[in-house]
Amino acid sequence: MTQLRHDYRRFCQLNTEIIVTGPEDADSFRKYWLKEALPFIGLPDPKHTILNLYGQEVKLFKLGRLPALMLIDKFGLLQYVHYGDSMADIPANEELLSLIMP
């Protein structure tokens, strides 16, 4: 998630908003956001409502929820989905930016 911070301006220049959803409660999210100085929206989902809706997997032997990344266009249509196989399996910013560029 913090890797998105490095190219946040580029995402904004492409009229793209980053929203990160996680299973933590609001207080934990707030503390992490302040500590990491994340410029985008963090949405706590302690009841896993949104995470389950989008099919984010849980694997206990891999430390819980695996990364899931989606690109949803301004019409609400899902344009890209990546479900990670491990905590390190996250698409590079360049890959995401290339999918967004006109």
Mean per-residue pLDDT for 21-27?
88
- pLDDT at 75 (0 to 100): 87
* Low-confidence winner among 8-17, 26-35, 56-65, 80-89 (lowest mean pLDDT): 56-65
The alpha-helical segments, DSSP class H, found in 1-102 are: 2-6, 8-13, 26-36, 49-53, 93-100
pLDDT tens string 56-102: 766 555 456 677 888 888 888 888 888 888 778 889 999 999 999 87
Predicted TM-score of the model (pTM): 0.79
CATH 3.40.30.10 fits 2-93, yes or no: yes
